Amino acid sequence: MRRLLITGGTGFIGTNFVRYWIRQHGGDFVFVFDALTYAANRENLEPVAMHPNFKFVRGNILDRGLVTTLVTEHRLDTIVHFAAESHVPLDCSS
């Protein structure tokens, strides 16, 4: 059983990946982490929202403490990264 963290899981590509993964690997735990910006649509995940191995948390991937806590507390072993807005500068100084 894998324990996945999907960043950007409410965007177009992320949503389709999450829905596919749960259909094909229903025993895996899928944890969606998204900031819900303009490109997100949480309603796209309604078909899987009640799945027992699905969880959603709103947050920003730049929040290192929150990401670390999620990975540690939920024992996540796989990260699939779809959170990307190419027009937003990334501050790597922290």
Query: Strands 54-58 and 29-34: what pairing?
Result: parallel
- The structure's pTM equals 0.83
Type of residue at 82:
F
Element (H, E) at 56: strand 54-58
The pLDDT tens digits of the residues spanning 5-60 come to 999 999 889 999 999 999 999 999 999 999 988 888 899 999 999 999 999 999 98
* Res 94: pLDDT: 53
Cα angle for residues 66, 15, 24 (degrees, 5° grid): 105
Domains of the chain from N-terminus onward: 3-81 (3.40.50.720)
Q: Write down the number of H helices and E strands in the chain.
A: 2, 4
pLDDT at 40: 85
Better-scored residue on pLDDT, 94 or 84: 84
Task: Give the neighbor-by-neighbor strand order of the sheet with 3-7.
Answer: 54-58, 29-34, 3-7, 78-81
